Structure 1
Amino acid sequence: MQKKFVYSLICFLVLFLLITILKLSNPFGLLFLSGLNVFVLTLTPLLILTAYHLSRKANWLRFITFFPALIGLLLISLQFIIWVDYRYLIPNTRIKPLNEAEFKTDNDTLIKQLINHPKIDSIQELINDTDLKQIQEYDPNPNRQMVRMMQAISSLNDGHSFMHPFQLYPDSRFFPLNGYYFDDGYYITRTASAYDQIQNYRLIAINGISFDSIFTRMKTVIGADNLSYQKSMLDIYLFSANVLNGLGIIDSVDEAIFLLVDADGFKHDLHINSVAMPFWLFWTLKPTDESSPVNPAPRKKKYELHTSNSDLFLIF
């Protein structure tokens, strides 16, 4: 009976592993998600059974029992993080949006920390800042609360004081796109397979708000001391649905309408759905020929350095 159960688990394991591999190019599709989840759910009891079986063998085999059991535990933890808001299990962790008194307390604490920065001469200088006064105003929207704290930190404009919009739980959402800010505009360089048709299109607007206006707002949350650095870091913030909502660019974190223009000058309206942060992270960390993990800039596979008659040539 136990052997039949194990053989059944192995068959399921192989089947759904194949489904997962075949659909790896579309990590947001139903088949991939189903295959991955069943694969993990099948692998976990198989690892636990292996650990149990080894624990009943010779003493030297008992030593390695720990490893399959640990892998099984890690897989269960990963599944939990993907599907459940793990913050509910952390003591003294606030899940609900801050009320006005709590927001003021947190903001006051943040300001006290900011005034210790070498660029701040006094607390009065910081408080008198018009932009910062607006940032300190309370808003019941949790995304606006997050953005206002990001703006407070980024107001130092020193290049190393910032807060990334990365939060590993399902309510943190991203649009499955990557892009790059070239001299003539912002172009989409990588997409989830469902949106392949817009690769190399230039982004014109999101939900009717022009890209220039969006970039102006985005600069307030990107802690940078120069424009070039703000452009290079834009990709991390631009496709965060929570940041876009907090800046008043989109009304819902679940979807947005992107207006793009192709190489022939034709405009395209595309309705794009956001995805939960764990799935987006899996997609964005997967290397491709067009982009490297995390780094939003296009990746060149090779380049050679040549010098000739005192002239420098970079050949890509």
Structure 2
Amino acid sequence: MAQQESRNELVGLLEADGEALAEEWIGIVVASLAGRISRAEIARELRELYSALLEAIRSGAHDASAEGMSEVRALLTELSRNRARQGSTPSETAISVLALKRVLEPALKEGGAERTQAYLQLSRVLDDLSLFTIETYTRTREDIISAQADQLMELSTPVVKLWDGVIAVPLVGTLDSARTQVVMEKLLQALVDTGSEQAIIDITGVPAVDTQVAQHLLKTIVAARLMGAECTVSGVRPQIAQTIVALGIEFGDIVTKATLSDALQLALRKSGVDLVAHQGVRR
């Protein structure tokens, strides 16, 4: 009986001046987002959420995880994902839910203990729903960041065809395990697609070479050799050469060159291309 009375009080709390409460809620959220999302879009989201919350409470749902709150959670999932894609902060996203508590506070002055108890119950529900919103927001942001990282990795590891039978992978930045896997996959696929037998791995843009980076390079070269391609490492600057010697890193029979130009000349000769030096004609 007490639960029924509490539910009725909650419904009454939300239904009393419902349009005015929704408008005030919308106004607070619009102000918090500083015009980054249109008022019309925010109004649509929050009015749907307000109606779903009222219906859930009418049906007897008394906590955020109840079956009757499924529609509310679905709407909050959509709202959270939209906020994450639009660049809103976690606080701005949470305000979309928590602002309703602020809107309902004045109603406490007009009721007794029952109204206060109903507000506290609704407050707990809204707190739980705001946590659900933040969790959904966080997962969406993580997915976005992961997708962007994958795209950047793809863009930072191009495979370039320099000549018939000769391809190159110009590396820029740090070479870690995840990136090595991408480089290896793209290089091997390019060997198959182009039928190349010469591959150049250019490390001019790699800031430093340590034991781990060298191991990643060696793995890539071994994989390319298994595909029948000869590999040359170019871009070995004096500082990198000294580091390799100091670390005792052994490249074995892998050919290294100081510049990409030197490596390309070697690869062309191995491919049977005759290179002729042309000198300018003096007049």
Specify if TM > 0.5. no
- Structure having the higher Rg: 2
TM-score between the two structures when normalised by the length of structure 2: 0.23
Structure with more of its chain in helix, by fraction = 2
